[in-house]
Amino acid sequence: MLLQLNNLVFFLTMPSAIVAKLWPALMVLFLVVCCAGVSNGGVTSHYVRKPEASVCMPKAAFPPPQGFNAPEQVHITQGDHVGRSMIISWVTPMEKYPNTVTYWAEGKGKDKHKKHSSIKFYRYFNYTSGYIHHATIKRLEYNTRYFYELGNGKATRQFFFTTPPKVGPDVPYTFGIIGDMGQTYDSNQTFEHYMSNTKAQAVLYVGDLSYADDHPYHDNVRWDTWARFVEKSNAYQPWFWTVGNHELDLAPEIGENKPFKPYTHRYHVPYRASKSTSPLWYSIKRASAYIICLSSYSAYGKYTAQYNWLKQEFPKVNRAETPWLIVLLHSPMYNSNNYHYMEGESMRVMFESWFVENKVDLVLSGHVHAYERSERISNVKYNITDRLCTPVKNPSAPIYITIGDGGNMEGLADRFTEPQPSYSAFREASFGHAILEIKNRTHAYYAWNRNQDNEAVMADSLWLYNRYWYPQEEHSSA
């Protein structure tokens, strides 16, 4: 652009007769200079969702199951690093016992096994939780359906899940992707749309679960109602969590000084299996994917526990075994919305170079209550002295997807920056969810579905090419 401006100055210093002859070329040059200052970004969708605020569903919309002390809020997640264990969690509201899960493989109902849970509860201001159970069942067979029972007598409840295939480079697997859901009528629409998709086998959840902290005194009953809300999925397929700002529940004004107290009591993850010192950051393998979950609201500066763990984690990833490398965090590193703009910048500065060096395929985040997908770009050469501070295309960089559009009570983030920056490929201020279908070591199909007129409408899609095995440039297919 500097060269173009110099040429324009040169034209303007020419004799008028020569300028007259070259006037058409001068006009073209002028237009080029003007357009050079305009973003060459992607698509900003013109779809306009209804402007009304998201309204929380009443607590009565999430009743507990029938029966005295019936187990409720049942949810599962992977219990080891490779998928042969499952953590089964539930709450008994009145009494500690029974604290046993009975489970068996499909077709082997006579060969039942039992596992006792650990039991805990917590108090938060004027709230006391029920008895929270966590039981890890181990040595499961791959790619097998298991049934499990909780409770006893008339309060017995039965569920099932399917273990993943054995880890391998060309193993297909499908993930749902959801974030910032809460428990509103819009949340319910997002969730029902996800439930109607029969392909997904597990959920990658990018933080902000119940939004209990948006209610007076961080009303922890809203943690109970949220877990009942998502039970019809989360009791049958594992959800993989990363924490958001609404999981902090830090409220010194009411004497609550321990961050993440409700979340860490209720949601257990297999962090020790990946040598993590905290349940707020960990990794798992699942089918052909290696998934790393980070905490945007824990220390991650140089020499901190999270920094040291991640530095040691990347060398463990074997792309010949798990070709797809996916990172989950809450606060987006790239975001062209005025809402939470650049809040993820400090983590980007710390970790982006590692993402590029290790050819991360996708970075999934929430926090911003809208949808956005980036190009494969990086800003690892940032240097304020040399003014190298603009993201550039980089075939080794991940695609950054912001999907904090689950439908929570705070409403949409509908003020995108203008013009759309070059790093932004597609953005839309709507609620929705996404599906990621890993096909083999080279190809995966990604689709984002907006909530529109009570239907899930695919609004953005892309064939993803693996950064390690097939680092070609992608092009949007919708």
Q: Which amino acids are annotated catalytic? A: 340
Task: Find where tokens 């009443």 sit.
Answer: 58
Q: How far is CA 223 from the centre of its chain?
A: 19
Residue 164 tokens read as: 């993943």
E-strand ranges in 227-370 read: 239-241, 282-286, 289-293, 324-328, 362-365
Phi-psi sector, 268: left (phi>0), alpha (psi -120 to 50), beta:
beta
Please answer whether residues 177 and 207 qualify as being in contact, where contact means their C-beta atoms are separated by less than 8 angstroms.
no
Residue 468 tokens read as: 């390690």
Measured CA to CA, the distance from residue 400 to residue 402 in angstroms comes to 7
Report DSSP letters for 43-101, one per residue: EE-------SPP-BPPGGGSPPPSSTT--EEEEEEE-SSSSS-EEEEEEESS-S---EE
Tell me 354's DSSP state: H
Measured CA to CA, the distance from residue 357 to residue 379 in angstroms comes to 13
Measured CA to CA, the distance from residue 164 to residue 170 in angstroms comes to 13
Q: How far is CA 478 from the centre of its chain?
A: 22
Measured CA to CA, the distance from residue 326 to residue 290 in angstroms comes to 6
Please answer whether residues 175 and 48 qualify as being in contact, where contact means their C-beta atoms are separated by less than 8 angstroms.
no
